Each structure stands twice: as C-alpha cells, then as structure tokens.
Amino acid sequence: MPRLHPCGRSVSSKSASESASESASFVGSTKLNSSISCCSATLLLLVLTIGTVAVPSVHAFEGEQWRNPSTNSLSCMPLSWMSLSWMSLSWMSLSFDEDSAEDPAEEKVDPPTFDSDEGKKSFIEGQEQFEQLAWRAAGRSFAVARKASADSRSRKLIQAWEKACKGGKSLDRATEDLQKGAYRKAWGAVATLRKKYGETPLATAIDALEEKVYPELFLDLATFEETPIEVEEAARKALPKDRSRITRDPERIFEGKGALEWRSGGGQGFAGLSFGRLPIATIEDVVMEDYRWIRFSIFNEDDNFGKFTLFFGTEAISPNQAWAGAGGVAGLLRRNCYYHHFTLKKPGWNHFRIDLTKQLSMNESLEWSDLLSLYLLTVPPSHPKQITIDAVKLEKQ
C-alpha cells in the first residue's frame, strides 16, 4: 500500500482477470502471495515453545475493514513469532521439493539454480537463518549461494535475499520501538524500510509491522473501498449519485483500491452562485480530542484553483438532508460548526494535513461532542470542478 503513507489496504475478492489487471496497474506494488514452507512451519513450532515477550496490543477502530480488529489476541506472543509469521510470502515458498502441494491459483517463483550442490545447500541454509532472524549469517550464506548460481536470473533472486538481510537489523529496531510504544519512530522506520527493501523478501515483514503501527497513530474516516468502513457508511448512502462515484482507476487512487470522484459546484445555487456539499464521515462516536490532525489527498483535474471548505457539522448525515440546511451552507454562515477553508493550488495530487487545534475556525459555544458529521463544501466564488478525494484519516500527536 501507495505515497506519503506507505500503507496499502487489503483488497476485496474479485475476478481473477480484474485482479490481475488492477495489480498490473499499480507501480511498485509489492503484494506477494503468502505461503509457508515445511521448514518455516517447523521453526514456528519450535519458537512457540520458547518464553514470551509482551507486545503492546493494537487498538484498531471497530469498523476498520482491512486491519484485523482481533489483534488484541496477540498481546502476549513470542517476539520471534511476529517476524517468523511475516516470512510466509512467495519468496519463502521457493521450494526444491517436487512433491510439495501447490495451489494452482498462486503465482510461484521458480527457485534459483546452481552449478553445485554446495550452492543449493548454502541457499537453503540462508533461508533458514533468515527465518531465525540471523541476518548476518543469512547474508553470508546467500553470498556463497550467489557465487555458485547457474544463471543471471538465479543471481538476481539471491541478491534480493542478500539485500533483505541488510534491512533485518533496522526491522528489529523498529519492532522494538513498537513494543516500547514509540509509534512515531516506528512509523518513520516503516517508510524507510519500504523505500529501501519494499521489493525484497523483507516486504511482507514490513507490511506486517505497518499494520501494527498504523492504528496506534491513525484512524480512517473514509477509505472509499468497495465496502465502506463503519464511520463512512452513512456518507456513502448520502452521496449525490449524479455528481459522485467510486473510482478504481489506479491513477486516481492515492491509497488502497478506491477513491471518490466528485463533480463539485454548478449545481444548486443561491443568487446565481454555486454551492456543493459532499458527505465524508460520521464522527459522532469518534473521540476527536484524541487526534491532532486530519489528513486527506485530493487529485485536481485541471490547473484552475479550487476553493473548498472542510466542515464539521452538528447534524447527522442523511440522504434527504437539505443542501442549505443546518448541516450545510446555513450552518457555515451561522458558524454553527467547526470549519477550515483551503485551496487546490496545482493540478494532480494535493496533500493536506490540517491541525485540528490551530487551523480550524471554531464556534466557542460548541464542543467536539456536539459535532456529528464531516463534509466537504464548495462555496462562492467556485466554478464547476471535478476532483478525486482519497485517504481521509485522523492522526494522533
């Protein structure tokens, strides 16, 4: 998962042809098929007999669809368990056992070939050491195996393993930061690891670490996936059907597999001026005081400036809500809301991080608990404009 935020969201089940087409469109995608060798399973069983190390529980929001809300059950697992389970990816399924069962739906990577049995033995030893998090030893074994590789394809495969070993220590430190509650530091490490090692066998380990850190820092408000998350459900039902649609075009998606296209302005108006309102999320059950920023990304289709307002209103989102009512323009004019004006200043992606404590215009008679909904508004002077919005989320301090 796309990108400032290196996360990607998991994908809903689709047809094989559709999934293949979408996967081919995402540049730099490192999604690999998960399978674990018999060797991995044996090692996992052995590690589970060793003493445990406490791991902070992950308090994922109940409505999140792509992060597992049951991760609290991992609050007392062996430290090595996390990393071992991370290694169950297609790189680890390189197997020299011709009799091993294969899932025909999975894309398999042919194992490297060698000029000698010694090279093959070193490669297998390297994989075992990699699973045991013995990064330096694994690197040495892969170096021996690379020198005995039979062709350039095999050398490239082994070089990827060697490169992954170089990131192992950084992964260990990031995991320790997670366990200590240094979530911001761990998040920074995730971004660095993905940039350097996102296309190596360390990729799935990075994905798993990311899924642990993410809910400690962020709360998704709108992901625009096929199935909306809980706080997005009412907004999805209230979207203006003639002016908005969920897109699966990867060039218009910043994060995950979906984004929302909206043709703003040019609709209902007052005194010849255009207004527009797009429901985003319900915040009634969100403890907004726990968060410092709101983040979102907007793709601007042209080079014309676009003026918009982020609007936190006092009325619940409803499909039959009047566009000029208390949840819309009237609420803004009466300042019965919290709001922030912003401008799209360039074509392409515009990324926003709004400080909820410093940048919002607030009605002092209101508390966050009085506000129930989040909208995007267009107010005069604004012209009809098509934008795509994605990855709306809250961020903690």
pLDDT in tens, 360-379: 999 889 999 999 999 998 86
Give the residue with greater pLDDT, 259 vs 15: 259
- If asked whether residues 211 and 341 sit together in one domain, one would say no
CATH of the domain at 251: 2.60.120.430
For residue 3, is it within any domain? no
Query: Comparing C-alpha atoms, which of 191, 252, 265 is closest to residue 224?
Result: 252
C-alpha Rg value of the chain to the nearest Å: 24
Which range, of 20-24, 100-104, 120-124, 247-251, averages the lowest pLDDT? 20-24
Query: Taking 50 as the threshold, does the pLDDT of residue 350 lie above it?
Result: yes
DSSP string, 166-185: HTHHHHHHHHHHHHHT-HHH
Q: Is residue 123 part of a domain?
A: yes
Any domain includes 22: no
- With a pLDDT cut of 90, the percent of the chain lying above it is 55
User: Domain check: are 45 and 183 in the same one?
Assistant: yes
Residue 24 pLDDT > 60 = no
Do 66 and 205 fall within a single domain?
Answer: yes
DSSP string covering 299-314, please?
EESSSS-EEEEEEEES
* Residue 155 shares a structural domain with residue 253: no
pLDDT-derived band of residue 240, with 50, 70 and 90 as boundaries?
Answer: confident
**Is 21 among the domain residues?**
no
Cα angle value 230/9/92 (rounded, 5°)? 140
The predicted model scores a pTM of: 0.70
**Residues 172 and 283 reside in one and the same domain:** no
Confidence of residue 318 (pLDDT cuts 50, 70, 90): confident
CB distance 358 to 286 below 8 Å: no
- Residue identified by tokens 């915040």 is 283
List, for residues 61-101, the tens digit of each pLDDT value. Answer: 333 333 333 333 333 333 343 444 344 344 444 555 555 44
DSSP string across 87-110: T-STTTT----TTS---TTSPPPP
- Domain, as residue range, for 309: 223-395
**Final residue of a structural domain among 217, 233, 254:** 217
Q: Is the model's pLDDT at 21 over the cut of 60?
A: no
Q: CB count, 10 Å around CB of 197?
A: 23
Under the banding of pLDDT at 50, 70 and 90, the label for residue 356 is very high
207 lies in some domain:
yes
Domain presence at residue 316? yes
Examine residue 81 and state whether it is found in any structural domain, yes or no.
yes
Domain boundary among 184, 217, 250: 217
- pLDDT, mean over the chain: 76
Return the closest-CA partner of residue 116 out of 146, 152, 156, 94. 146
List the beta bridge partners of residue 273: 270
Q: Is residue 335 included in any domain, yes or no?
A: yes
Flag whether pLDDT at 138 surpasses 50: yes
273 and 151 share a domain?
Answer: no
What DSSP line would sit under 1-46, residue for residue? ----S----------HHHHHHHHHHSTT---------HHHHHHHHH
Residues present in the chain in total: 397
Overall number of domains in the chain: 2
Domain identity same for 240 and 203: no
pLDDT of 94: 57
pLDDT for position 74: 34
Helix axes 117-131, 135-147, angle to 10 degrees: 160
**Residue 270 predicted with pLDDT over 60:** no
In this structure, are 380 and 251 located in the same domain? Answer: yes
Other CB atoms within 10 Å distance of the CB of residue 223: 25
Tens-digit pLDDT profile for residues 143-201: 999 999 999 999 999 999 999 999 999 999 999 999 999 999 999 999 999 999 999 99
Same domain, 197 and 267: no
Least confident range from 33-37, 141-145, 243-247: namely: 33-37
Could you check whether the bond before residue 381 is cis, i.e. omega within 30 degrees of 0?
Answer: yes
**Structural domain ending residue among the three candidates 190, 217, 244:** 217
Give pLDDT, residue 109: 78
Cβ–Cβ < 8 Å for 396, 59: no
SS3 state of residue 76:
strand
Task: Tokens for 150, please give them.
Answer: 């039979």
Residue 159 sits in the same domain as residue 78: yes
Same domain, 249 and 120: no
Asked whether residue 251 falls in the same domain as residue 167, the answer is: no
Q: Specify which of 94-103, 313-322, 350-359 reaches the highest per-range mean pLDDT.
A: 350-359
| Contact criterion met (CB below 8 Å) for 16 and 223 | no
